[in-house]
Amino acid sequence: MLKIENLYYKAGDFLLKAVTLKVEKGEYFVLLGPTGSGKTTLAKCVCGLHRNSGGKIFLNGADITELPPEKRKIGYLPQDFALFPNMNVRENLLFAPRMQKKDMKDIKGRLDYIVKTLGIDGILERTAVNLSGGEKQRVALGRALLADPEILILDEPFSSIDTGLKTNLWFEMKDLLSTLKIPVIHITHNLDEAAVLAGKMGVLINGEIVQQGEKEDIFSKPASAEVAQYLGIRNIYSGKIAGLDGERIIITGENFKITACNDKNFSKGEKVTFSIRAQDIKIMKENFAVRDELKDNIFEGAIKASHFLSDSCIIKVESALNFELKFPSYIYQRHKLYNGKKVRIGIWQKGISVFRDT
C-alpha cells in the first residue's frame, strides 16, 4: 500500500498543495488531470526523482520519504518510455535485475512469464530504436515489472500510441496488472482511458487533488463546477435556491426552474452553480408516460445543431436554458430528429450536481 500524507513540492511558481492519497494493494488508481496540473511532478516526488518540500510518503508501512530512488522499490514508466537505444529488448528488460545484482537463473521464470504475457517473445533481439510505439510501451512495462516493484507508476503510458491500438492496450494492461496484483498509479489526461482502467480515481487540478474516490462517483457526481468542466460537462449554469421540498431543492434563474436533490443541506436563498451531464438529458417520446425521475424537469425547445461521432451523437437544444445532449446515433434516427425540430426533453434528477458558490 502507498500512502501520501500532506505532500508539498514547490518549483518556481508551481506548487503541489497538501496532496494526500492512498493506494491499496492490488488497486488500480488513476490520477486524472489537465496538462500542467502537476501529475508528473507528483509521480517524480513519489519515486524520489524530486525531493518534496514537505509531507510523508509510506510504502507498505515503511517511511520512504528520504530514501533515494533506487531503494524505494517503485516501478516507474515515464512518458517517453526511456528505453536504452543501444540495447536490444532482452537487455532492456534485464537492466534492473542486473543493476540489483540478481542471479539471472532466479529471474528466468519471471522473465519468461512477463515476456509471454506481454507478447514480446518474438522481438527480444531487436534494438529499441526498431520498435513501434506499442512494442516500446510493452517493453518499457516489462522492464518496470522485472524490477520487482511493490507499486507501479505509469505516466501517460499511451500518449504516443495510435488511437486504434491504444484502446486494445487499455484492456490488455488492465487484465495483465490485475493478474499480477501489483498496485498501480496510472497518470493520464484522457477521460476515456480513465473510465476504462480506473478502480478508484483522483482529479488533480493546479497542484491540488480536488476530488478522489470511486470512478463512478466522480464521473456522475463531480465535487465542483471546476471538476465538472474538466470532465467535459458543458451544461453548467447558475441559479438560486428558491425553495426546499423535503429532500429536494428548487433552483430558479431568470426564466427557468430546476428540481434537484438536496445532498449538501442547502438553504433557501443560497446562490449555486449546477451541472447536468449530457447523457442525463433525454428526448421524450410522444404519447408515452413520463418517468418519475424526469417529470419535475421537463423543457420544451428546438434543436439548433447536431454533431455525429463514430458511435454517438451530440445535439444542442435551445430552450429556457441551452442544453447539450449525448446519446447513441441510432436514437437520432429513431426519433426522426433534425436541426430546427421542436423537442421535449427531460432531465434525470439524480444527474444534476449542485455546488455552492464560493
Residue with more model confidence, 146 or 6: 6
Q: In what order do the strands lie in the sheet with 200-205?
A: 74-77, 151-155, 184-188, 28-32, 200-205, 208-214
Q: Mean pLDDT for the chain?
A: 92
Instruction: Classify strands 14-23 and 2-11 as parallel, antiparallel or unpaired.
Output: antiparallel
Mark out the alpha helices in the chain (DSSP H runs). 39-47, 89-93, 95-99, 104-118, 133-146, 163-180, 191-197, 215-220, 225-230, 329-334
Answer yes or no: is pLDDT of 160 > 80.
no
Half-sphere exposure of 73 (CA within 13 A, CB side): 15
- CA 56 from chain center: how many Å? 24
What integer pLDDT is reported at residue 87 of this predicted model?
94
> What torsion, rounded to 10 degrees, do the Cα atoms 177, 178, 181, 185 define?
60
Instruction: Say whether pLDDT at 163 is over 80.
Output: no
Query: Is the pLDDT reported for residue 231 higher than 90?
Result: yes
Coil vs helix vs strand at 232: coil
pLDDT, one tens digit per residue, over 23-57 is: 998 899 999 999 999 999 999 999 999 999 999 99
pLDDT of 328-338, one tens digit each? 999 999 999 99
Residue 182 scores a pLDDT above 90: no
Q: Does domain 2-220 have CATH number 3.40.50.300?
A: yes
Residue 250: pLDDT above 90?
Answer: yes
| Per-residue pLDDT at 122 | 93
* Cα separation, 73 vs 81, whole angstroms: 18
- Comparing 2-220 with 227-356, is the CATH topology the same? no
pLDDT at 298: 96
pLDDT tens for 271-311 read 999 999 999 999 998 777 788 889 999 999 999 999 999 88
CA-CA distance, 128 to 203, in Å (whole number)? Answer: 34
Assign domain 227-356 one CATH number from 3.30.70.100, 1.10.3720.10, 2.40.37.10, 2.40.50.100: 2.40.50.100
CB-based contacts of 313: which residues, under 8 Å, 6+ apart? 306, 307, 326, 327, 328, 329, 331, 332
- Cell triple for 288: 408515452
pLDDT in tens, 112-140: 988 988 889 999 999 989 998 888 888 99
Residue 245 pLDDT exceeds 80: yes
Phi then psi dihedrals of residue 142, to 5 deg:
-60, -40
> Domain limits of the chain?
2-220, 227-356
Residue 67 has pLDDT above 80, yes or no: yes
Reported pTM? 0.88
